[in-house]
Structures are given as C-alpha cells and as structure tokens.
C-alpha cells in the first residue's frame, strides 16, 4: 500500500534513483527481447541455423527472449514499487533481484573455477574432432580458424596428411600456428571477461536490493 505522506529528503532521492535504475534495467530487458526476436526471424540466422553446427542459434534466440522478459518483469516491479511507494512490489523486486544475483554470482564463480577445465577442454575436443573429420564436418572448424587466425590442431600438416589440401579458412601466414596452442588461452580470456561482467552485474544488483529495502523500510515507517 502506498503511504499517505510523501517521502522526503534522502529517502525521496533513493526513490527516484530506484525508478531510474529500474527503468534502465527494463530497457535492457526490452533490448534483449528485441535481439532474441531478431535472431529468431532474421533469414540469415535461420539459414545458418539449418546447419547442425549452428542449430544452437535458435536456442540462443529463445534464451535471450526469456532472459529479457524476466529482466523486463523485474524492472517493472522496481519502477512501479518505487513510484507508487508499494512495499509489496518492492519486496517482489527484492526477491527477483536476489535470485538473479545468486545466479549471476554462481555463474561468475563457476566460470573462474572451471576456466582451466571443461570450459576449455570440451570445445577444444570438438574442434580437434572436427579437424580429424574435416571433409564431413567443417563449419565449426572453419569458423574457429578464421576467427582465431590459426590452422589445424598443430599446423597445416594436419590437413595435408589427410585431405592433401589446406582449407581456405587457413590463411597462408597462419599455416604454422596451431589452434590448440592459441584458442585455449583466448577462451580463458573470454571466460574471465564474462565472469567479470557477471560479478559486476551482481554488485549492481546488490546495490539495487539495498536501495529497495531502504525504501521499503522508509515507506513502512511513514505509515
């Protein structure tokens, strides 16, 4: 229930900071939903997803829509709770933010713990398997070699010994650079960045939770 009197001073400032924070949060959710819908309907993505190697693009689109919708809902609770001075909505916002916070922190910590384990070993095993069966399954291999500027597992000889020619995705200057010596370090760098973003986002969410509880307590004291 909204209070009979308006909040004043510091609490009023927190109220409008809460509203601004959650409005931005809601816009981020809208952007993620829009990106997910674009991935689902864009002809280029659909053509790419017809290949088994890139079928996960469809799931990525669905995931973005789901995550964006959740963020929009949480932002809605926060915006309405702050502007209407509603304890119920603020508590719902706090609970949602707490769950997202726990998920993000767990994901960030797990990424750091496993960055030298299966987060590197699994994709590299798939890549090396793709090199060994290049003639049957080459989309992922070509993508990795083009992006990371490398060739084969150890060098271009991985192909010349099997299919007698080097794929076009291997540029001449990269013939001696094996992907197995380059890609793992790059994956670890990306994992650290993702973990940092997750933990940083968790810190922002923690601040939002603190503001929501302060505002909720102020509203209760005004009743």
DSSP codes joined into one string, 69-85? HHHHHHHHHHHHHHHHT
Burial of 139 (0-12, 13-18, 19+ CB in 10 A): middle
pLDDT of residue 4: 41
Can you tell me the distance from the alpha carbon of 183 to that of 101, in angstroms, rounded to the nearest whole number? Answer: 30
Q: Tokens representing 43? A: 């002809």
Nearest to 66 by CA among 41, 95, 37: 37
* pLDDT tens over the chain, length 223 residues: 444 445 556 767 877 888 888 888 888 888 888 888 887 787 766 665 666 555 666 777 788 888 889 888 888 888 888 888 888 888 888 898 898 888 888 888 888 888 877 778 888 888 888 888 887 667 788 888 988 999 999 999 888 887 778 888 898 898 999 999 899 988 888 888 888 888 888 887 888 888 888 888 877 776 6
Can you tell me the distance from the alpha carbon of 41 to that of 21, in angstroms, rounded to the nearest whole number? Answer: 31
Domain ranges of the chain: 9-100+203-222
Can you tell me the distance from the alpha carbon of 77 to that of 96, in angstroms, rounded to the nearest whole number? Answer: 9
Q: Tokens representing 139? A: 């989309």
130 touches 52 (CB < 8 A):
no
pTM of full prediction above 0.75: no
């Amino acid at each position: 229930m909204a209070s009979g009197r308006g909040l004043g001073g510091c609490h009023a400032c927190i109220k409008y900071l809460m509203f601004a924070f959650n409005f931005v949060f809601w816009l981020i959710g809208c952007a993620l939903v829009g990106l997910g819908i674009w991935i689902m309907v864009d002809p280029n993505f659909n053509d790419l997803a017809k290949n088994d190697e890139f079928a996960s693009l469809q799931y990525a689109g669905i995931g973005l829509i789901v995550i964006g919708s959740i963020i929009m809902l949480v932002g809605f609770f926060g915006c309405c709770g702050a502007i209407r001075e509603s304890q119920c909505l603020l508590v719902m916002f706090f609970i949602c933010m707490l769950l997202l916070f726990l998920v993000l922190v767990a994901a960030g910590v797990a990424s750091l713990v496993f960055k030298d384990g299966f987060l590197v070993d699994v994709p590299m095993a798939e890549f090396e398997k793709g090199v060994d069966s290049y003639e049957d399954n080459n989309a992922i291999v070509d993508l990795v070699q083009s992006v990371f500027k490398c060739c084969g597992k150890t060098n271009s000889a991985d192909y010349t010994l099997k299919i007698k020619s080097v794929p076009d995705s291997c540029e001449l200057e990269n013939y001696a650079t094996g992907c197995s010596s380059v890609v793992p370090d790059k994956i670890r760098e990306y994992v650290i960045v993702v973990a940092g973003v997750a933990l940083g986002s968790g810190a922002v969410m923690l601040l939002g939770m603190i503001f929501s509880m302060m505002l909720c307590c102020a509203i209760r004291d005004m009743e």
